[in-house]
Amino acid sequence: MESMFRLMDKEQKVTTTNRCIWVNGPVIVGAGPSGLATAACLREQSVPFVVLERADCIASLWQNRTYDRLKLHLPKKFCQLPKMPFPESFPEYPTKRQFIDYLESYASRFEINPKFNECVQTARFDETSGLWRVKTVCNAESTRSEVEYICRWLVVATGENAERVVPEIDGLNEFTGEVIHACDYKSGEKFAGKKVLVVGCGNSGMEVSLDLANHFAKPSMVVRSSVHVMPREVMGKSTFEIAMKMLAWLPLWLVDKILLVLCWLVLGNIEKYGLKRPEMGPMELKSVKGKTPVLDIGALEKIRSGKIDVVPGIKRFDGNRVELVNGEQLEVDSVVLATGYRSNVPYWLQESEFFAKNGFPKAANSGWKGRTGLYAVGFTKRGLSGVSMDAVKIAQDIGSVWKLETKQPTKLTRAGHRRCISQQL
């Protein structure tokens, strides 16, 4: 018995190490596409950097929190990161695995080596020193490592989709079936023959419903508000690409009118299936509210054929039943919450001038640069093309100061940092 207690004590003992590290360049928080793009552009500017990532891999959202059938919804030329296009052998809409392979090749090419399993606890600007202080925690087996990074520039690259959104629905906690978020959904295979309620009708909700129908499940998709559904392609051309070309020459309102006519010609009247369109046009809605139109890749045909049922909002759950706002009741076996994601910036960044309480920059048009060396990438709601634009501007802005102050010739350098000897956490 005594030896058993000694063993338990040994197993529970955790060693804590504290360090302070000066970063000779910016600290980038997040190793998704936003962080990788910024790091690559900084590498081209010969600016050293450190990338911090809370997961154990790059692009953890893509690797760990996406379903198997996922493909890029836009053509690859609109999704490539700066300085490196997709391989020509990749299809027009790369798969999830192909995109991950691309990102891993991207990190390798630009010698981006993130510090994995480092979760940022706080980041604040020290007015006295004029520097950022970024505190992280890394738990590895019996060792807890606490590190404070000191830097002049801080790049927030955690993106729009850092944390899942789980809505509060009356009775959901008492639902007797399985409840998962879309980030935990992989395939509809295990749901074959089951009645599945999909809460949400964005791109994820539509595609999860389609996947469930393809695996012989019986999905019901909750459509609580209006939604723009558009064909992914019109006569073999990307709808998004058509819109971008028109916006270069025509006013926004006219582009929306043309797009809605094309949608009517290709998809027909979708309102009779319970999919009411917003009063605001698809591109205006994206510009003003950041709400992305749904690009149909087959779900609408399943809705027409009755293999996907469209239902209104939820009033409450009761056991294995759900009552809808129209009084109808459904028996369901499982629930998939395709209710989106949110920024986690307010939980760790101690700053309120540049970022709003919702975790997004307050000024959408100039949302890549704040004061005191603070930058944001991937928050402009313009997808991966917006990420690339932000990354280039941030690297150029930091690079111009770096080169002026160091007066160094342009050359590739490795990320550098040194330990702060004067301070211990």
**pLDDT score, position 288:** 84
**pLDDT score, position 34:** 97
**pLDDT score, position 365:** 64
Sheet holding 309-311: strands in order across?
178-181, 334-337, 195-199, 218-222, 309-311
**pLDDT score, position 420:** 53
Length of the chain in terms of residues written = 425
> CB-hemisphere CA count at 13 Å for 6?
3
Contact (CB, 8 A) for 278 and 228: yes
**pLDDT score, position 251:** 95
Write out the H or E segment, with its range, that includes residue 123: strand 119-126
Give me the phi and psi of 325, to 5 degrees please: -65, -20
At 26-37, the pLDDT tens digits run 999 999 999 999
**pLDDT score, position 4:** 39
d(CA 181, CA 161): 13
Find, among 245, 208, 201, 263, the residue nearest to 227 by Cα.
201
Write out the H or E segment, with its range, that includes residue 27: strand 27-29
d(CA 346, CA 50): 22
- pTM, two decimals, is 0.88
Q: In the numeric block, which tokens belong to residue 186? A: 């992989």
**pLDDT score, position 125:** 95
**pLDDT score, position 153:** 97
Contact (CB, 8 A) for 308 and 219: yes
Strand partners, 316: 323
**What letter does residue 176 receive in the DSSP assignment?**
S
**pLDDT score, position 408:** 55
**pLDDT score, position 422:** 36
Tens digits of pLDDT across the chain (425 residues): 444 334 344 445 656 778 899 999 999 999 999 999 999 999 999 999 999 999 999 999 999 999 999 999 999 999 999 999 999 999 999 999 999 999 999 999 999 999 999 999 999 999 999 999 999 998 766 678 899 999 999 999 998 888 999 999 999 998 999 999 999 999 999 999 999 999 999 999 999 999 999 999 999 999 999 999 999 999 889 999 999 999 999 999 999 999 999 999 999 999 999 999 999 999 999 888 888 899 999 999 999 999 999 999 999 999 889 999 999 999 999 999 999 999 999 999 999 889 989 888 888 666 799 989 999 999 988 889 999 999 999 999 999 999 888 875 544 444 444 445 433 33
